[in-house]
Amino acid sequence: MLNHESNQRLCRVGPDDVMGQAMRRYWLPFMLAEHLNVAAEPLGVELMGERFVAWRDDSGRPGLFHQSCLHRGASMRLARAEGDGLRCIYHGWKFAVDGTVIDTPNVADPNFKTRIKGRTFPVREAGGLLWAYLGPAEHEPALPHWPWMDLPDAQRLVTRHVEACNFVQVIEGLVDSSHLGLLHMNGLQQSGAVDLGFAQKVNSMQRNLAPELDVQDTDFGFYYAALRKIDDENGQRTEARVAAFVAPCCVLNPNGDIATFVVPQDDGRTSFIHVFWSATQDLNREPLRSRHLEFIGLTPVVLDDFGLTDETLGREDRPNPRNNFQQDREAMRQGKSWSGLPGLIEEDVAACVSSGVMRDRSREMLSTADVGIAHLYRTLLACADSVKQGKSPVGVDRGVDWSQVRGTQGVLGGDDWRELLVAKHPPVSEDRG
């Protein structure tokens, strides 16, 4: 539970909000790299309560411009794409992707342009994504280097959809293991029959609906462990599923093959990016790509039907809180569907968005099932407090070894789930001879 003031502090991400300032101290993924074509038209980007324009110049360099022109604020979405830069149509000032001012045709002094810099932001391209840093230049950290960034494109599948609520409640669903066996009951029941590695790994979750939960703070955020005692034909055992929350808005799944980034577009709309990868399979090639997307429920058709694309978000003819997400009560009555919703993603979206655009946390009743949720609040608020006090937020300037940060799962040999972290990430031997 959080009082109104703390809830606002947690959720609001504009440039003048303390959480907004904290999140601007990290690199944030803002779009799929493949969606920004060379020397194409400028694209509008909404990020952290501000409007930007993404554009790639003719040498392939991606750029992120503030939407409002440096001169007198005309929209750079209207700008002319001229190969080496974007030219504002109002008075013709022209800017390169790195902020260099190439031309100011309505100013007689030819040196004027060398004394000013365009409103652009540092952008990196890695792992199939474009990343932006919106914070103060003197605090720009290195872009985290995740192992999946080194894989060939064929082995990495990246998706993005949008949800009509605040980012924090979207992240909550990712550190909330106890909803899986209930909300996603139908999907889990089917998963045993699907011959996808991912589906097989989540199948056992339906056998214990009240997992024991624990958290462990780390230099990047925290680990979140769900422990399930299983007693079946294979005997008694404790299975642990450990997700990693990486500040400020990333969760790595226990199977160790999905990174999710939950990036605010503004206080009430959120970009949800999934990166799926495989060390051995061409996930991003057909037929595996479509099968994978169909199982998760992230096909273009599903996203369009449920109003989860930029074009369909908020449309009245799509599932939304006003039409009760077009829930199928008949299917529920007949026992065909637990939730009355068509798939995993739709279930998550409906549960999450239905709690309010920005959920009121002064009216919640957290329980032992919500250890991860409470810890998420604490960690995010700690990020905000650190920045307010002039310090670096969690995960920044901590020398994190990103190659070692991942989710994990397994059957416990002893009492402590942390053994899995050691077993999966053994210390490097000093004796290399």
State the residues that interact with ligand FES by CB under 6 A.
Answer: 69, 71-74, 88, 90-93
Residue 28 structure tokens: 């944030």
User: Contacts for 397-404 with beta carbons within 8 Å, 24 or more apart?
Assistant: 397/141, 398/219, 398/220, 399/219, 400/144, 400/219, 400/220, 402/144, 402/145, 402/146, 402/147, 403/145, 403/146, 403/147
Per CB under 5 A, the segment of 20-28, 171-179, 290-298, 356-364 that binds Fe ion is 171-179
Rounded Cα gap, residues 12 and 19, in angstroms = 6
Between 103 and 310, whose beta carbon lies closer to ligand FES?
Answer: 103
CA atoms within 13 A on the CB side of 233: 1
Q: Is 91 exposed, middle or buried (0-12, 13-18, 19+ CB in 10 A)?
A: middle
Between 65 and 277, whose beta carbon lies closer to ligand FES?
Answer: 65
Per CB under 5 A, the segment of 88-96, 168-176, 291-299, 398-406 that binds Fe ion is 168-176
- Report the partner that residue 72 touches, choosing among Fe ion, ligand FES, none (CB closer than 5 to 8 A by kind): ligand FES
Measure CA 68 to chain center: 26
Minimum distance from residue 104 beta carbon to ligand FES (Å): 8
Between 173 and 307, whose beta carbon lies closer to Fe ion?
Answer: 173
Place of tokens 């920045």: 387
- Report the partner that residue 93 touches, choosing among ligand FES, Fe ion, none (CB closer than 5 to 8 A by kind): ligand FES
Minimum distance from residue 214 beta carbon to Fe ion (Å): 20
Minimum distance from residue 74 beta carbon to ligand FES (Å): 4
Q: Is-contact 183 303, C-beta < 8 A?
A: no
- Report the partner that residue 357 touches, choosing among ligand FES, Fe ion, none (CB closer than 5 to 8 A by kind): none
Q: What is the DSSP string of 137-174?
A: GGGPPPPP--GGGGS-GGGEEEEEEEESS-HHHHHHGG
Is 172 an interacting residue with respect to Fe ion (CB under 5 A)? no
Between 51 and 425, whose beta carbon lies closer to ligand FES?
Answer: 51
Q: Is-contact 192 200, C-beta < 8 A?
A: yes
Count residues contacting Fe ion (CB under 5 A)? Answer: 2
Minimum distance from residue 242 beta carbon to Fe ion (Å): 17
Cβ neighbors of 237 (< 8 A, separation 6 or more) are: 229, 230, 411, 412
Per CB under 5 A, the segment of 57-65, 169-177, 211-219, 275-283 that binds Fe ion is 169-177
Minimum distance from residue 220 beta carbon to ligand FES (Å): 41
SS3 at position 115: helix
Measure CA 78 to chain center: 29
- Report the partner that residue 71 touches, choosing among ligand FES, Fe ion, none (CB closer than 5 to 8 A by kind): ligand FES
Minimum distance from residue 179 beta carbon to Fe ion (Å): 6
- Report the partner that residue 69 touches, choosing among ligand FES, Fe ion, none (CB closer than 5 to 8 A by kind): ligand FES
Minimum distance from residue 183 beta carbon to Fe ion (Å): 6
Residue 396 structure tokens: 């920044």
Mask of contacts with Fe ion, 309-348, x by CB under 5 A?
---------------------------------------x
Q: Is-contact 199 373, C-beta < 8 A?
A: no
- Report the partner that residue 348 touches, choosing among Fe ion, ligand FES, none (CB closer than 5 to 8 A by kind): Fe ion
Between 179 and 229, whose beta carbon lies closer to Fe ion?
Answer: 179
Residue 328 structure tokens: 């199928």
Interior/surface letters 244-271, b for 16+ CB within 10 angstroms, e for the rest: bbbbbbbbbbbbbbbbbbbbbbbbbbbb
Minimum distance from residue 362 beta carbon to Fe ion (Å): 24
Mask of contacts with Fe ion, 23-42, x by CB under 5 A?
--------------------
β-bridge partners, 148? none
The residue type at 246: V
Which strands make up the sheet holding 62-66, listed edge to edge?
43-47, 50-56, 62-66, 120-121
Minimum distance from residue 364 beta carbon to Fe ion (Å): 18
Residues that bind Fe ion (CB under 5 A): 173, 348
